[in-house]
Structure 1
């Protein structure tokens, strides 16, 4: 496993990041809330203070124009103006009144009174051009249109002084008829200086524009009497509302402006201020909060380092323990004395390592036992395979011997039948030989059952061989007796032959009287010769039977030895199977006693024939059973080969398990 150095996602960095987040996120959120709240409060305060200033400026405008409008109102009601046509002295009074009006304020550039009849009186007196017609002037028309009101004209540049001027005018009526219009040209220089000098904050100022967008008052005189305000982004909003607050960019600076309409003039009064001045306070808050966050950051890092030191110490112990355990070292213990969850984790780790160590130890013991067992199984399977091979060979030999024995028995039967026929011809008391044989039980297809069957058949073959041996010995003894009887018959035959010879001689001597006797004697002689010949044949047959009986006895002895060797091999096989299958079943059951219904030999010939036929039958069954056992043994041998292969594979697996377990280092108990 590869470990990356300087991993950003290490526990130390996570702890520092977490503590910093816990400390800074609420502080950042609080700072943002404070900032936006403060910005809102500052903006609200700016709006409120600006509204107050605008109200003051609007009041100043109102007072400024009312101070001019009131005298004009008074003059418009003056009888001298109304009755200017009735008395010539009234014109003098009108001039005097206009002079007084002009002297009321230094910003009044001139006052005048123009009548409907075309008379035009002004102060300071100034000769007007011959084509001058006051009645077509805007101030005159507006005043006539709005009778009863003091109108204020749009701002314009005075042709004489070049100053920015507005005109206040009111129609003079007498009994509903317009007599003329009183007007006063009012310079805005003083008002501009007075209002433009008003400072709002550090960079703020007041500027005023008409509702048509003509700049009336501005600290920058280049903008006065221009429509620069109509080119600003906020103008469309401002011209349609009586008051409000707007944000805009002017001359590359972000600005904030509060505006309000003046009721008397209809002008729009603006209070402009650089946005940075408003955000200055909030920026100060941001700086303070930034400083606080920096301090908190340093403190949180220090606290995180202090806290993480103990945690990382315990984590490093756990990491080291887990690293050793991952490499197979299960002998390590972790000692943590932190009185917290790390101590519990350490205890659980030690408990886990102890359990794993015990498990590995037990697995190691079990693998050792399995290795030994697999070795023993492999060895036993090899021995069993070898024993099965020997047993198979022995069974094959038994089968061959049984076959030969059966053939010999058949030969004996043929000979005995021939002998019986001959003896029947001699003694007329031949008894038929009867074949009675009991079939042996079918051998099981299963390997173990076949072994049991082999044992059973081997025991029966052994006992039958013993009985056959005994019978053959008895037959030999009977053959000896038959031989003696044959010799006796031969002797009798010789004597009969001699007697017949003597009878023939005597018959010859008797002549014709003994001729019939001679014929009888000749027949007796022939019979004696035949009996002699039969006796010789019987002796010959008995000799052959004796020889074959001896061969059968030797074969039975060999069979007995083979059966004994087979018993030893089968006994070994049984022990091996019992060891492999943990004594699941005994390979060899108690050999059942063979119940043989033997019939006493009614006659020596019949007894010999019956025993030989039984020998033949048993030999055939033994040969058949041996072949079946041989086939089963071959199957078992094949199974044992597969078993040996599995045992070898088990041994290899256990050895691999031993190798893997050997990689673990466990505590010595």
Structure 2
């Protein structure tokens, strides 16, 4: 299949190349306008896949080819499935019919053993064998009669290879047929003998042996049966009938499920009973049935596909319990379906050629006009406004070409009109530039003189304003200083009072801290004592726990003794059981108390740890309190001297405040005169600056207008309109 697919893709590639050659020739023969053809030839495709024509070609080609391949492959797979299903059903029916025929053959062979068992003369002869002395005339006569009787059955059925009669102990009585002499042999240890004895009168189907059961050279299978006396129902002997495997080979040879099919008969262990190749007898079968399939009821058939891609059909015979198994490769079954696959490949090849021609036609009819129009637009973008498409078709591409021609014509008219307007604007801009430069020179001289006057007035006003602000600022600061001085005096008195009160509080805090330290030390000692008490409690609980264990043992012993006493000890047994329950409850209670004691012990340890950590902290606190008391005493001493100096500063600040009021009035008058002069100067300077700014702006606008006019002229010169 892979080789066929490679051939298909080779043919497709050749068809694509031939279609491209035809497309190139078609384009060369149908060139119209020389100018447009030259433009078309100037453009090269950097990536052909990006072109619209190539995309349309690939869409047509891939969609048609994919559709044909998908439909063909689906048809191929469906036909394979249908063929396999039909063949599976037919094979199962054939194997079932062959199995039923095989059951008929098996039933015929089994009936032979039943006839021998029911033969009255044979029963009488076998019944007399134990009473006849070995080697006597009666023994020889009995053996002859048995031989004659067995020969009747041997000659009646040509499929029988040998007939053998054994005593129930395994000693040979008589044998007829194609076999070696087994006189004096004892077969009681043979597996087939044990199997026959276990079936106790039922026919035992014995697997094929490559050299038979009687020491011959040909393969055979056998049927064993315990012969019972119909009068006494006693076991009178063991019958073993050998059949040549040709009986089975002839039957399975008539089964033909198709080419490369194989048929065989297997036993319950998946070993060959009969097959076309005798070398495989007693060996593992090529097809191994599962345990579930081997355990099916006799007369059941089925089919499946195994991992080796072989279709398997089987039938479990009703008489022997053997399995008739046939198998064949699935590839031979679906051989006819390959015709559909080959036909699919041919259709795919034809479809690829058709898709190539259609795709190339569509690509040329759509892609070529679009490429030409794109090239014309590129020429127009470079400044050539004389290009025209001149399309005559009435489809969308033709309408697009006509719209392109109208657009280029309108752009040409617009460029011509803009070129004339740009020339007029350039002349007007030159005249405006000369006038604006003259006006700007005069305005600049006036603005310079006005600025000098305004700067002088502004300096005077600034200095006077600054002096007035400084005077007012000094007055405000003086008021704040006076207020701060008064607040400082009040605060100093409060600080002195608070420091004295803090000194008293610190003395009390020192005494209380010392008392707290002593209490913590006492608490640590008591906690240590409590810790010792909990340890004592633990010892008592351990002792009680041991007592409960002893009590439990005593109650168990009492129960045992009460049980020994029997009915007299039942009451004592109840008492002992109650004691055991009380001991269990006591043990549970002791465990709970032990857990609580453990918890208390842990809490005490944590308390001791916390108190031990707190003791150094309390000592540091006492030291800090003593140092704070010393600081409060020093603050009280220094605050007394500070209050005396603060009174002297308050008198000096009052004198300075009176002088500042007089200076503030004088600076206010100077500032008013300076502000009036500055306002007049600024008004004149503003008018001059505004006139100068307008003149400069006019000059810039004139220069800009001239520059734009030249730029527009240069830009329009790039367009070719004639």
Shorter-chain TM-score range? 0.5 to 0.7
1:110 has 2:162 as partner: yes
Determine helix, strand or coil for the equivalent of 1:172: strand
Change (3 A) 1:650 1:176: farther
| Alignment match, 1:652 | 707
- Asked if the contact 1:120–1:134 (Cα under 8 Å) also holds between the matched residues in 2, the reply is no
How far does residue 212 in structure 1 lie from its aligned partner after superposition? 0.4
| Alignment match, 2:691 | 636
Determine helix, strand or coil for the equivalent of 2:207: coil
CA distance in 2, matches of 1:659, 1:97: 137
| Alignment match, 1:243 | 302
- Asked if the contact 2:160–2:241 (Cα under 8 Å) also holds between the matched residues in 1, the reply is yes
Change (3 A) 1:630 1:50: same
Residues 17-62 of structure 1: CA deviation (Å, up to 9, x unaligned): 1112221222222112112101101211221232233224323432
Given candidates 216, 220, 238, the residue that maps to 2:273 is: 216
Given candidates 335, 342, 350, the residue that maps to 2:397 is: 342
| Alignment match, 2:197 | 144
| Alignment match, 2:57 | 16
Given candidates 78, 101, 116, the residue that maps to 1:75 is: 116
Change (3 A) 1:96 1:79: same
Change (3 A) 1:229 1:626: closer
How far does residue 92 in structure 1 lie from its aligned partner after superposition? 5.9
Counterparts of residues 451-462 of structure 1 (less than 5 Å): none
How far does residue 123 in structure 1 lie from its aligned partner after superposition? 1.4
Change (3 A) 1:284 1:389: same
- Asked if the contact 2:161–2:178 (Cα under 8 Å) also holds between the matched residues in 1, the reply is no
Given candidates 258, 263, 269, the residue that maps to 2:313 is: 258
Counterparts of residues 1-400 of structure 1 (less than 5 Å): 4-5=45-46, 7-85=48-126, 94-116=146-168, 118=171, 120-124=173-177, 128-129=181-182, 131-158=184-211, 160-173=215-228, 174=230, 175-192=232-249, 195-196=252-253, 198-227=255-284, 229=286, 239=294, 243-249=302-308, 255-354=310-409, 356-357=411-412, 360=415, 364=419, 367-368=422-423, 371-372=426-427, 374-386=429-441, 388=443
Pick which of 91-100 and 36-45 moved more: 91-100
Determine helix, strand or coil for the equivalent of 2:48: coil
Pick which of 299-308 and 239-248 moved more: 239-248
Residues 378-415 of structure 1: CA deviation (Å, up to 9, x unaligned): 3442243246468889x99xx9xxxxxxxxxxxxxxxx
CA distance in 1, matches of 2:420, 2:61: 54
How far does residue 632 in structure 1 lie from its aligned partner after superposition? 3.6
Change (3 A) 1:362 1:122: farther
Question: Which protein is richer in helix relative to its size?
Answer: 2
Larger Rg: 1
- TM-score of the pair, normalised by structure 1: 0.56
How far does residue 109 in structure 1 lie from its aligned partner after superposition? 1.4
RMSD: 3.9
Residues 298-337 of structure 1: CA deviation (Å, up to 9, x unaligned): 1111122223222233223322333323333333332334
CA distance in 2, matches of 1:654, 1:2: 36
Residues 511-538 of structure 1: CA deviation (Å, up to 9, x unaligned): xxxxxxxxxxxxxxxxxxxxxxxxxxxx
How far does residue 626 in structure 1 lie from its aligned partner after superposition? 12
Determine helix, strand or coil for the equivalent of 1:265: coil
Residues 580-603 of structure 1: CA deviation (Å, up to 9, x unaligned): xxxxxxxxxxxxxxxxxxxxxxxx
How far does residue 261 in structure 1 lie from its aligned partner after superposition? 3.0
CA distance in 1, matches of 2:76, 2:195: 53
- Asked if the contact 2:51–2:367 (Cα under 8 Å) also holds between the matched residues in 1, the reply is no
CA distance in 1, matches of 2:419, 2:110: 118
Change (3 A) 1:127 1:201: closer
How far does residue 217 in structure 1 lie from its aligned partner after superposition? 3.4
Determine helix, strand or coil for the equivalent of 1:66: helix
